[in-house]
Amino acid sequence: MTSSRPDGQRSPTLEEVAEWAGVSRSTVSRVINGVSTVDPELRELVQRAIDATGYVPNLAARSLVTRRTDSVALVVSEPDDRTEQTEPFLNRIFTDPFLGRITAGALEVLRPEGIHLVIMPAESPAHHHVLRYLRQGHVDGVLLISSSDEDPLPQQLCDLGIPAVLSARPGKPLPMSYVDVEQQVGAKLAAEHLLAIGRHHLATISGPLDMPSSQDRLAGFRAALAVHGHAYVPSAAGNFTRASGEQAARELFAAHPEIDGLFVANDLMAEGALQALRDLGRRVPEEVAVVGFDNSIAALQCRPRLTTIHQPLEEMAAEMARLLLARIGKADPKPRSVIFHPRLVKRESA
Amino acid sequence: MTSSRPDGQRSPTLEEVAEWAGVSRSTVSRVINGVSTVDPELRELVQRAIDATGYVPNLAARSLVTRRTDSVALVVSEPDDRTEQTEPFLNRIFTDPFLGRITAGALEVLRPEGIHLVIMPAESPAHHHVLRYLRQGHVDGVLLISSSDEDPLPQQLCDLGIPAVLSARPGKPLPMSYVDVEQQVGAKLAAEHLLAIGRHHLATISGPLDMPSSQDRLAGFRAALAVHGHAYVPSAAGNFTRASGEQAARELFAAHPEIDGLFVANDLMAEGALQALRDLGRRVPEEVAVVGFDNSIAALQCRPRLTTIHQPLEEMAAEMARLLLARIGKADPKPRSVIFHPRLVKRESA
DNA sequence: GGTATTCCAGGGAGCGCTCTCTCCAAGGTC
DNA sequence: GACCTTGGAGAGAGCGCTCCCTGGAATACC
């Protein structure tokens, strides 16, 4: 039960709590921080003092000494060259179920540790802004969702010695921990499923080609088909939004009306493609089979429901958080990477 | 050009920069903070020292003195009683374009002021966690997106004297600034449009009924129809997700197959309703006209494109930020509210 | 030329906490 | 009973910064 202080008044300090309890500042500090060498009776007394005064430790003072803030940032970064897009960055990241799943997974690990997560969008013009925030020491480390291999942020964090973990293999080799899914294997799963259900004219809608994960999915799809004698695979690139998927599908079918199997690099674009196919009067899956990627909520919300490649984003984010905490705890410089396995989820679209 | 320090080494302090430049700590501090009473030559020298050492002010030390952090939180709150839902909270908020628009609008105002925005989801079991974060003084104030009139968070922030601005009229009167849109007027616009295009059997899908804004939209719709002699208006409540809109539409049309005009309390649910109508074989807008609310990107992505009520979320969020900054600057306790006007955006669905 | 005034750099206190070091008291050992 | 060990509380320094106050140099005034 905290007594609410009258407005504008400063919150009580350790010293005041100590006075209330008739002990020293040190003892109160020990109680707050759970140091065991405190007489149980005193501990009880101090606890009452804390409750009575409504004491909350002053973060600034504490972290000035400890050099810890007990919070980490989830930074969603966007490179320069993709800023001029139909859909604004913030719209995109807050519309894709992706971010919600990452957040959920990270919180799963961070909350029990008492660590706060702050989410910061970092589209390119505001990069320096976010960088300043991170350098000022607001957070102990960062979970970095970086989408382009041209993104300077990973390198910058590295240089500054700010603990960070990436959400995917970095474009350029970097001494940083990261988490990833076997992108190529996922694409292969999709390819082989499409072949297995008897499709012969396959095509793919990829993500932005400056992203390693997009490159991998595209390469994986092509490689798997090459093994089965398909030398040429039409493809079009989107930017992971529904609208871009719709657009890409239109282009693809305009140029290659014979396509009967489509692998789309995420579910949102697949949903857009489904839209395009409906407009074009192509029945799914009868005439065209569609496989997505992510197994997000979007895959369940479209008609027909999407066959897709599941990637365990929540677990991946949780692992990112674990890697980050390990890195923050000991200044252990050797980076680790953890790779997850994708799997095919069969539904109606293929 | 900042020189990158070798890993693990602490960042330089004011004192070190002062030594480099051969001046006092105070002078460097003045340069950093843009105090004008510094000799231009010295200023120049100090600036070189700052660049050379790669100095960044230590936030903890600074805010220990200034009691400011130059960051504010965007807290998205969720009450207890709505936690057991089909779609997890994080999925919901990170799928609705709503949050992206709010963020964009707030950043528009905050970034030029050099103020950082940190986003924190606060579903009920983690409420105390977020509250602790706020009380510790991580931020100077909070933009609160609170959805239920049962939500204790606004009251708590009030009691703690933490500057905050609400995104909507609070359920219970509270001495807090807020921003809102004329919900009832918006609903009236929808009602009158549906009547104007000759619909007679009107129904509505509302948001969660513990939200003042949902209540207002529902009441406004009913009131407008009452004026035109419609005493009974079937309604079903959703939770602002696509899936819930689909579900609600199914229920509504099962019970009232005669419905020919539907007002849905947000675009996402309207999209779900469109889905349901497609499944039911009802043509939109020929057999059933549908009007949404928000004018979000979702309204453009569905087929037929959605006629909807526009609310200027970006401007509203910007105004929230402005109100908050005013509140933080001077400890001016008198709350203000700013109400925005909705308007009808005609597209294909009605 | 001496004194009052202005300007601007430096000195020092102190923000609220942690953490080490010191010190006292109680218990154990011979 | 004198000495040593140990448990647990208090004292004090110091984290890096801001901000007030002081003081010296430069300028203005009589």
Do the domain assignments include residue A303?
yes
**Selection from A231, A262, A233 nearest residue A246 by Cα:** A262
Q: Do B297 and A101 touch (CB under 8 A)?
A: no
Is the pLDDT score of A5 beyond 60? no
User: Is residue B325 domain-shared with residue B178, that is, in the same domain?
Assistant: yes
Q: Which of A314, A337, A336, A325 is nearest to A163 (CA)?
A: A325
In terms of Cα–Cα distance, which of B338, B316, B324 is closest to B117? B324
**Looking at residue B161, what is its pLDDT?**
86
Place of tokens 């905290």: A2
Contact B204, B238 (CB under 8 A): no
Task: Tell me if B8 is assigned to some domain.
Answer: no
Structural domain range at position B220: 183-310
**Mind listing the pLDDT tens digit for each residue in A6-22?**
444 568 899 888 888 88
Yes or no: say if B201 and B258 are a contact pair by the CB < 8 Å rule: yes
What SS3 class is residue B225?
helix
Residue A258 shares a structural domain with residue A332: no
Average pLDDT, chain B: 90
Q: How far is the CA of B22 from the C1' of D22 (A)?
A: 20
Work out the pLDDT band at B86, boundaries 50, 70, 90: low
In this complex, the residue of B87, B94, B160 whose CB is nearest that of residue A99 is B94
DSSP string, B20-44: HHTS-HHHHHHHHTT-S-S-HHHHH
The three-point CA angle A83-B241-B106 to 5° equals 40
Looking at the structure of chain A, the number of domains it has is 3
CATH number at residue B293: 3.40.50.2300
Q: Specify which residue's alpha carbon is closest to the C1' of nucleotide C20.
A: A26
Put simply, whether A94 touches B (Cβ < 8 Å) is yes
**Chain A residues with CB-CB distance to B137 below 8 A:** 58-60
Q: Is residue A217 in a domain? A: yes
What pLDDT digit, counting tens, does each position of B98-134 carry? 999 999 999 999 999 989 999 999 988 788 888 988 9
CB–CB of A331 and B104 under 8 A? no
Q: Residues B255-265: pLDDT tens digits?
A: 999 999 999 99
Tokens found for residue A132: 């300043």
* CB-based contact B59 A137, cutoff 8 Å: yes
Between chains, do A95 and B90 touch, taking CB under 8 Å as contact? Answer: no
Chain A residues whose beta carbon lies within 8 Å of the beta carbon of residue B90: 100-101, 103-104, 107
User: B151-206: per-residue pLDDT in tens?
Assistant: 899 999 988 889 999 999 998 888 999 999 999 999 999 999 999 999 999 999 99
Domain contains A326: yes
pLDDT-derived band at B292 (thresholds 50, 70, 90) equals very high
Same domain? A279 vs A319: no
Q: Which has more pLDDT, B248 or B81? A: B248
- Structural contact between residues A267 and A207, judged by C-beta atoms closer than 8 angstroms: no
Task: Give CA–CA dist A122/A106, Å, rounded.
Answer: 18
CATH number at residue A31: 1.10.260.40
d(CA B218, CA B233): 10
What is the percent of chain A with per-residue pLDDT over 90, rounded to a whole number? 63
For residue range A282-329, list pLDDT tens digits in order. 999 999 999 999 999 999 988 899 999 999 999 999 999 999 999 987
Residue A216 lies in a domain: yes
If asked whether residues A149 and A187 sit together in one domain, one would say no
Q: Which pair of tokens denotes residue A53?
A: 């005064």
Q: Write the CB contacts of A124 (distance below 8 Å, at least 6 apart in sequence).
A: A78, A79, A80, A83
- Evaluate whether residue A5 is within a structural domain: no
Of residues B289, B284, B290, the one with CA closest to residue B265: B290
Asked if the structure places residue A350 within a domain, the reply is no
Higher pLDDT residue, A261 or A149? A261
Are the Cβ atoms of B59 and A136 closer than 8 angstroms?
Answer: yes
Q: A303 to each of A7, A260, B46, B284, B291, how far by Cα in Å?
A: 54, 18, 64, 17, 22
234-293 of A, contacting B, C-beta below 8 A? 242-243, 272, 275, 278-279
Same domain membership, residue B234 and residue B119: no
Residues A174 and A193 in one domain: no
What type of residue sits at position A306? L
* Domain match, A204 and A296 both: yes
pLDDT confidence tier of residue B2, bands split at 50, 70 and 90: very low
Residues B55, B99: Cα–Cα separation, whole Å: 35
Residue ranges of A 104-163 with Cβ closer than 8 A to chain B = 104, 107, 111, 116-121, 126, 129-130, 132-133, 135-138, 159-161
Question: What distance in Å separates residue B115's CA from the closest CA in chain A?
Answer: 9
Q: Which residue has the tokens 């010293």?
A: A15
Q: Per the CB < 8 Å rule, is B136 touching A103? A: no
CB < 7 A to strand C: residues 90-109, chain A = none
Residues B304 and B201 in one domain: yes
User: In terms of domains, do B109 and B213 share one?
Assistant: no
Q: Are residues B76 and B154 in the same domain?
A: yes
Q: Are residues A297 and A187 in the same domain?
A: yes
Q: Has residue B7 been placed in a domain?
A: no
User: Do both A176 and A324 map to the same domain?
Assistant: yes
Residues in contact with B263: Cβ distance below 8 Å, sequence separation at least 6, in sequence order: B187, B190, B191, B194, B202, B203, B204, B205, B221, B291, B293
